[in-house]
Amino acid sequence: MMNFQFNVSELIFVLPELFLLSAISIILLFDLFASERLKPLTYYLTQLALIITGWLAFDLIGESAIIFSGTFVLDTMGSTFKVFIMGFAIIALVYTRHYLKAHELLRNEYFILALMSILGMMVMVSGHSLLTLYMGLEIMSLSLYALIASARDRAVAIEAALKYFVLGAIASGLLLYGMSMIYGITGSLDIAQISNFARASTLASQQTLILNFGLVFLVIGVAFKLGAVPFHMWVPDVYQGSPTSVTMFLSTVPKIAAIALLIRLLIDGLGDLQHYWSDLLMIIAVLSIALGSLVALMQSNIKRMLAYSTISHIGFVLLGFVTGVVEGYGAAVFYVLVYILMSLAAFGSIIVLNKNGFEADQISDYQGLSKHSPWFALIILVVMLSMAGVPPFIGFYSKLFILQQVIAEGYIILAVIAVVFAVISAYYYLQIIKTMYFDDADKEITVSAPLDMRVVLSINGILILLVGLMPSFWMSLSVSLF
Amino acid sequence: MIALSDYLILSSIVFCIGLAGIFINRTNIIMLLMCVELILAAVNTNFIAFSYFSGDLAGQIFVFFILTVAAAEVAIGLAILTLMFRSRGSIDIDVTNTLKG
C-alpha cells in the first residue's frame, strides 16, 4: 500500500517545473490581453522563461532526492537533461520564429504549446513512478500533435498531425499495457519498488514470464517514441509533412525525454532484466541503422532524408544501451546530445534559406549555395561531415565512443555492421555537399534571415567544431550521470 | 467468484480487437479513434483488476488519470479531424495518401 504524504519543503526540488508552469499561465494570459503592438513580446517572454527554468535546473544539479511519495526523482542526470532541454529549446525557438515569419504562420499559441510540451518532457525526465512517466509523456505528445496541426491551411501538415496522433496513441496504448502488466506482477507503480522486485532472486518462472511480457510492451512503446525500426512508420511522413520548425523541434528536444524514459523504465526500473531487453534493443538497433542508412539514399526531399538519418542515428544510440554497462549508457547519452546539436544545425540551415513562403526542402534547392552564401554553405558542410562521422568533427567521436563500448563488450559483429552502414550513409551527406559546391544553380538563392537567426546558426555550427576539440571531457561528463 | 485470470483474458481480448481494428480498418478515422479507446479500456480493466486483487489503490488512481488523458486525446484527435475535413472535404483514410509511406 502506498502512503501518500505531502511535505511543503519538497516543493523546492520541483522549482523548475513549478516556475515553467506559472510562466506558461502568465504568458498565456499576457498573450490574451496584450494589444497587437505588444504581441511580439510573447516570444521574448517565452525565451526568458526557458532561460530562467534552465538556470533553476542548473542550480539543482548535485542535489538528489526522491519526493512526493516516490513519484518524482531529482538527480544529477535529471537536472542535467533539463538544462540541455532548455538550451536546445532556446536555439530551436530562435530558428522557429524566423520560419514562422517567413511563412506567415506566426501565432503566439505556437510558443505556448512548445513550452507546454517542454514541461511534459521535464516531468518525464524526473518521473519516478509509472504514473508520472505516463503523464509527462502525454503532456508532451498532446502538445506536439497540436503543434504540427498549427499550420492549419496546409493539407500535408494536417495529414502528418493525424498520422502522428494515431501512431502516438497506439504507442501510448502499448506502453500502458506493458505498465499494467508490470504493475500487476510487482504490485507497485514506484520505479524503486519495481527494481527491488526484479532484483529478488526468488522469482518463480511464471513471474519472470509476466515481467518479460510487460517488458516487451514497454520496449515497443519506447521504440515507437524514439522512431526506431520496426516502429518507424510515422517518422518520414511526419518529418516531411510538418512545418520545418516543428520537424526540427520533434527531431531534437523530445529525443532527450524519450531517452530519459528508456533510462527510467529499463535501467532504473528493470535493470536486472538487462539480458532480456538488451537482446530486444539489439535487433531494433541493427534494423534501424540498416534501414535508416539504405532508404535515405533514395530521398530527394531533404526533410525526408533527415528523417531516415534520424532513424539510423537512433540505432546508434540504442547500440550504446545494448552494451549494458555504465560507459555504454554514457556514450549513448553523449550521442543523443551530439545528434541533437547537429540536427538543430541541419534544420536551422534549411530554415535560414526560407523566405516569403519559399520552402527549401528539396536537395536541388541547394545547388550553387557556396557561391551565393559561402558562410552558410560552410556550416552545412560542417554539419553534414559531422553527421557522416568524419573526424575531427564531433559526430565522429560520438560514433567512436559507442563503437568502443560495443567492441569492449564483445559485440564485434555489431560494430562491423554499424561501421559498414555508417560508410554507406556518408553517401547522402556528401551528396548535399556536392550539390552545394559543384552544381550550378538555375536560380539564385539569397539568405535574408534576420541577425539573431544568423548569429545563433553560426554559433551552433561553431559549437559542432569546438565540442569536437575536447570530446573526452563531455564523454566523462555523460558517464558521470549514471 | 470471477478470478483475476478471467479479467486478464477479457482485457487481452479487448486489447487485440482494438489493435486488429487499427490495422484492418482502412475506411474511417473515427473508427481508428474508437479502436484506440478500446485499447485504453483494456488497459483500464487490467489496472483495476490487478489493483482490486492486490488491495493496492494506486492502480485505480492510475485509471482516473488514463481516463482524463484519453478524453484530452480524443479532443485533440477530433480537432485534427475537423481541420482535415475542412481541407479535404472527407475523413476517409484512402484520401490521406499525399505523403507516401
**pLDDT averaged over chain A?**
91
Q: Is residue A189 part of a domain?
A: yes
Contacts of A164 in chain B (CB under 8 A): none
Residue B101 lies in a domain: no
pLDDT tens for each residue of A171-223: 999 999 999 999 999 989 999 999 998 888 677 888 888 899 999 999 999 99
Helix H segments across A373-411?
374-388, 394-408
- For residue A350, the enclosing domain spans 12-479
* Residue B10, domain CATH: 1.10.287.3510
Would the pLDDT of A364 be above 60? Answer: yes
What pLDDT shows up at residue A358?
79
Q: pLDDT of A146-182, one tens digit each?
A: 999 998 888 889 989 998 999 999 999 999 999 999 9
How far apart, in whole angstroms, are the C-alpha atoms of residue A181 and residue A172? 14
The per-residue pLDDT for A63 is 86
In this structure, is residue B100 part of a structural domain?
no
DSSP state of A66: E
Q: Longest C-alpha distance within chain A, in Å?
A: 71
Beta carbons of A475 and A400 less than 8 angstroms apart = no
Count of the separate structural domains present in chain B: 1
pLDDT at residue A199, as a whole number = 87
| Total CB pairs under 8 A between chain A and B | 123
Supply B62's cell numbers: 492510475
User: Residue B100: its pLDDT value, please?
Assistant: 53
Confidence (pTM)? 0.94
CA dihedral B74, B76, B81, B86 (to 10 degrees): 150
Identify the burial level of A208 via C-beta atoms within 10 angstroms of its C-beta, where 0-12 means exposed, 13-18 middle and 19 or more buried.
Answer: middle
Quick one: CA torsion of A204, A181, A271, A132, rounded to 10 degrees? -150
Q: Is the pLDDT score of A79 beyond 90?
A: yes
A90 pLDDT above the threshold of 70: yes
A72 domain residue, yes or no: yes
Task: Tell me whether residue A3 is in a domain.
Answer: no
Query: Looking at the predicted structure, is the pLDDT value of residue A284 above 90?
Result: yes
> What are the pLDDT digits (tens) for A418-449?
999 999 999 999 999 998 898 887 776 777 77
On whether residue A1 sits in a domain, the answer given is: no
Q: Is A62 left (phi over 0), alpha (psi -120 to 50) or beta?
A: left
Confidence (pLDDT) at B97: 60
B18–A173 C-beta distance less than 8 A: yes
Domain containing B78 equals: 4-93
Look at residue A399 and tell me whether its pLDDT is greater than 60.
Answer: yes
**Whole-number Å distance between alpha carbons of A416 and A145:** 38
Q: How far apart are CA B82 and CA B88, in angstroms?
A: 10
The CA distance from A450 to A256, in Å, is 29
pLDDT less than 70: residues of chain B? 26, 93-101
- What percent of chain A is modeled with pLDDT above 70? 98
Q: Is residue A63 part of a domain?
A: yes
Average pLDDT over residues A266-270: 91
- Asked whether residue A6 is domain-assigned, the answer is no
- Please report the pLDDT score of residue A415 as a whole number: 94
Q: Report pLDDT for A359.
A: 81
d(CA A368, CA A364): 9
Residue A358 pairs with which residues in a beta bridge? A355
- What residues of chain A have any CB closer than 8 angstroms to a CB in chain B? 1-2, 130-131, 134-135, 138, 142, 145-146, 149, 152-156, 158-163, 165-166, 169-170, 172-174, 176-177, 179-181, 183-184, 187-189, 233, 236-237, 240-241
Count structural domains, chain A: 1
Give the pLDDT score at A1: 45
What's the pLDDT score for residue B101? 42
Hey, what long-range contacts does A425-429 have (CB within 8 A, 24 or more apart)? A425/A292, A425/A293, A425/A296, A425/A309, A425/A312, A425/A388, A426/A388, A426/A389, A426/A390, A427/A297, A428/A296, A428/A297, A428/A299, A428/A305, A428/A309, A429/A309, A429/A384, A429/A385, A429/A387, A429/A388
